[in-house]
Structure 1
Amino acid sequence: MSVAPAAPPSALPGDPEALIAHILARYHEVHRAEFPQAISLARRVEEVHREAPDCPHGLADHLEAMFEELESHQQKEERMLFPMMRMGGRKMVGLPIPRMMSEHEEQLVQLERLAELTKGFTEPPGACGTWRALYEACRKLDADLREHMRVENEVLFPMFAPPA
């Protein structure tokens, strides 16, 4: 699992409808598929290697909490914000956008904790394949979430900023 480089803004759809569709397919659905896999890997590593000094105790629970918060956030976007945007509701999105950006800040704190628990996504020497796969999954989750938030904060949300 290698992390794809961030798409330059020019490579992203310039139309809000197409950009929303891109976000849903590239990020929302991918997160929904990959978080449960990472949680499962973390549970296995924590169970099998619980006595190892470098065992990432609490990682599975942290990933699970992150996923629950992320799913709640994505549901708000999918059920409220994105439909408002699709209807061109510039005035209506004035409240939800700052809330979504605040939740993005909260997610960044969770990503910092993820890096702490995995010691910077660096598995210990001699780590088993499951442990290596877990840290690769965590690296990808981190990169994808950061890029997801960047696309929304820096590309999508400004499309709906009030005229200057």
Structure 2
Amino acid sequence: MLKTYSEQTLVRDLVNDFPKTADVFKSVRIDFCCGGATPIAEAAATGGVDLGVLMANLTEVIEKSSNGEDDMKVWIDSDSNTIIDHVISEYHNPLREEFLNLSPYVTKVSRVHGGHRPELLKVYELYYELKKEMLEHVAKEEETVFPLIKQLDDNTVEDRDGALNYIKELEAEHDHAGAILKQLRDITSDFIPPADACGTYRLVYKRLEMLEAQTFMHVHLENNILFPRYF
């Protein structure tokens, strides 16, 4: 665990030790998963965020989180098989279910309101791009990469470089998913529906924001805790 932290601490390292700081970073649109290997000061400058206010907010959250003794610490200390099982049960399976359930609402809202709300046509396009990519991505993890990671742990892998290249591919796919989510947040004005939006419209925006949050934590667990063990 970090004994101290500063403006030069990497975003991902702070979130690893103090997971609730993820909410602070998310609130000012600082990427803590794919872009987490960035010092806090640099991330703030890039995003036009007041560094003093950011550090004060981070400190407040850290002081309330009992010195960071919470869920992410468990995963830092867990073996890779345990993390993989957690990712599948808590992120992959719910992701598949959410895409199944959310898709009809996204389609309906785009069809009914897209004529006078053209941003919804873009939401439809981005959502289905994200759905396709993420479903292919989690299948690749479960069918190919996670078994290779277990072989890396057991020292039974036949092609270590090939296995590491697969992991790098996953990281690149994470970056692309993050870029799609950023576009969705931009096009929806931070997932805030217009005042006259119907219930289904509001539901879509709320669940897209929840999907973003779950994806960020999923990617953070892999990019910043699981995958670095093998490089």
Same fold (TM over 0.5): yes
State which structure, 1 or 2, has the greater radius of gyration over its C-alpha atoms.
2
Pair 1:100-2:141 in alignment: no
Distance 1:35 1:20, change over 3 A: same
Corresponding residue of 1:11: 74
Cα shift at 1:122: 0.5
Q: Which amino acid aligns with 2:93?
A: E
Corresponding residue of 2:179: 109
CA contact (8 A) 1:38 1:63 kept: no
Matched residues in 2 for 1:96 and 1:71: separation?
17
Aligned positions of 1:1-164 closer than 5 A: 8-12=71-75, 14-53=78-117, 56-87=120-151, 88=153, 89=155, 91=160, 93-161=163-231
Matched residues in 1 for 2:117 and 2:140: separation?
40
* The 10-residue stretch of structure 1 (5-14 or 80-89) with the greater mean CA deviation from structure 2: 5-14
Cα shift at 1:31: 1.0
CA contact (8 A) 1:45 1:55 kept: no
Q: Percent identity?
A: 26
Cα shift at 1:75: 1.4
CA contact (8 A) 2:119 2:187 kept: no
Distance 1:61 1:17, change over 3 A: same
**Number of residues of Structure 1 aligned to a counterpart in Structure 2:** 157
* The 10-residue stretch of structure 1 (43-52 or 89-98) with the greater mean CA deviation from structure 2: 89-98
Distance 1:16 1:119, change over 3 A: same
Q: Which amino acid aligns with 1:46?
A: S
Matched residues in 2 for 1:84 and 1:70: separation?
19
CA contact (8 A) 1:35 1:63 kept: no
Unaligned segments of structure 2, at least 5 residues: 1-19, 23-69
* TM-score normalised by L of structure 2: 0.62
Cα shift at 1:18: 0.8
Secondary structure in structure 2 of the residue aligned to 1:51: coil
Matched residues in 1 for 2:197 and 2:177: separation?
28
Cα shift at 1:38: 2.4
Cα shift at 1:55: 5.3
Distance 1:83 1:44, change over 3 A: same
Unaligned segments of structure 1, at least 5 residues: none
CA contact (8 A) 1:57 1:117 kept: no
Cα shift at 1:42: 1.3
Matched residues in 2 for 1:22 and 1:9: separation?
12
For the aligned residue pairs, the C-alpha RMSD in angstroms reads: 2.0
Secondary structure in structure 1 of the residue aligned to 2:107: helix
* The 10-residue stretch of structure 1 (93-102 or 25-34) with the greater mean CA deviation from structure 2: 93-102
Matched residues in 1 for 2:222 and 2:189: separation?
28
Q: Which amino acid aligns with 1:146?
A: F
Cα shift at 1:60: 2.2
Q: Which amino acid aligns with 2:81?
A: E
Cα shift at 1:153: 0.4
Query: RCO higher in 1 or 2 (8 Å CA, sep ≥ 6)?
Result: 1
